[in-house]
A and B are shown apart, each in its own frame.
Chain A
């Protein structure tokens, strides 16, 4: 089944079909939560800010011009600014290198064949637990704590497995 592109969905929303926004939320929520979690170093705050960002994006959707950039980039920029504001409110310093790296990395486009290759690589991870944590964290949007409970391991182990899985994926995709 062909997935509807962002442009078409946005046209529907602006034409009055609010429900169409659900597709964009589903499409980008997992990545955006992780993006905010990485910036704020806190899952719950990351989820809150990701939620605020989706709402802000919806409220200002009429200002979005797809000729000037992709929706995902715009959404991530809104979220990044919100995260920085949040860090300021918490009187926490922002690590410029962190933010720059995350912003630069985040939304470079991925083509269908690349996505397919990556999915196949995830399936082939060894041991299979690495595949499970990648799927749970990146695809199902679960937190370290949720994954840890489901797999009966420590949260720290989830982080270690994710790290090792990503190293394997990078090697597999070179």
Chain B
């Protein structure tokens, strides 16, 4: 037994299956769901996916083509030498149609050709308690795409040493007692300038989200991307402009113990903070409001049930099953999700109807819907589930043929779908 008894030890020896703070878990999961629109990069990246850079592609070209390319590049640079300093983050978002979803909400279809990893035709539903109108949706989506592109660019201009999670390091050579420096790069959210004076860019906080007013301490090292040009001065920025920034931080301290792998325990005081880039955003600040982005829900095919549509609006846990731990060898192809209207329920099953009209039957050990209504409803403002309500179920199935008749032990979770824009909204069933 370890000689030191820590808080971590005590929390980690918790028996499996013990009920914990489900509200905390739900808040984290709901926030992740509502942030999906802003974090599409995460959802679509594969663990082993390596991005092929422009230069990697160049290396594969035949020599003659390479020579022609170099000549063409030389001519282009001599003709328009200023152009190499230009950089634009211009997403191409075209609104294709406005319609109505089967749930009676406004459906907006866009063609997106430059939005980070999101491409092609995308459909969104406008939430009923949305803070934006259908006419503003295109601008809001454009704003999110612009932030995606800027964040991708920030990745490319962040010096390698500020990416501590990337690549292998030789940190193992650093021993306890030595002084060590670690590095961190932080892109900001969209900010609205309130004033600029003596190199300090003050920005307005946002009481809605508890964001305090903040100040960016710029320096000679700070570069500004304004109207596509990388500049050394902030002279053309003014109060009211929307910006985003990349800040680099260094933490120096004495090591408590030897570094192991990338893991080094230091005190973590930032000893150096550099505002590396400040980018002026193309649209008015209100277009970047997180609540505006969260007013749109992407309409996506359900996991492994692609004929049906799933929306992630947040939900109340009706039942949390053990399927996940029962299927330790299951792969992504075995994981299913369906969202649909509750058609009927009884002590041994409940049935959902997906957006395609397909029926999904879930066999249950007991009446899980009534169990929620009787025993859990009080925790959620006495919300009661009725026939016709929208539920989301994630579950495991061995094949698509078995995915419409599911056993209790294969159910991962059942959620009652809500229509939330912000986590502080009162509970309202979808």
Contact = CB atoms under 8 A, between A and B. Distances in A.
Interface of A: 1-4, 8, 11-12, 14-23, 25-26, 28-31, 33-35, 38, 47, 50-51, 54-55, 58-65, 67-69, 72-74, 76-77, 80-81, 84, 88-89, 94, 96, 99-101, 103-108, 110, 114-119, 122, 134, 138-142, 166, 169-170, 173-174
B338 to A, nearest CB: 13
Contacts of B322: 1
B16 A1 contact: yes
Given A61-B42, A63-B166, A115-B12, A17 B28 contact: no
A110 B269 contact: no
B335 to A, nearest CB: 5
A3 B325 contact: yes
A5 B322 CA distance: 15
B198 to A, nearest CB: 21
Interface in B1-25: 1-16, 18-21, 24-25
Considering residues A58, A101, A119, which has the most beta carbons from chain B within 10 angstroms of its beta carbon? A58
Interface of B: 1-16, 18-21, 24-25, 27-29, 31-33, 35-36, 39, 42-43, 45-47, 163, 165-166, 168, 184, 212, 251, 253, 256-257, 260-263, 265-270, 303, 322, 324-326, 328, 331-332, 335, 337, 394, 412-413
B7 A38 contact: yes
Nearest to A35: B7
Nearest to B263: A69
A58 B1 CA distance: 32
A169 B3 CA distance: 11
A21 B324 CA distance: 11
Determine which residue in A47, A76, A84, A110 has the highest number of CB atoms from chain B within 10 A of its CB, and name it: A110
A77 B10 contact: no
A29 to B, nearest CB: 5
A59 B2 contact: no
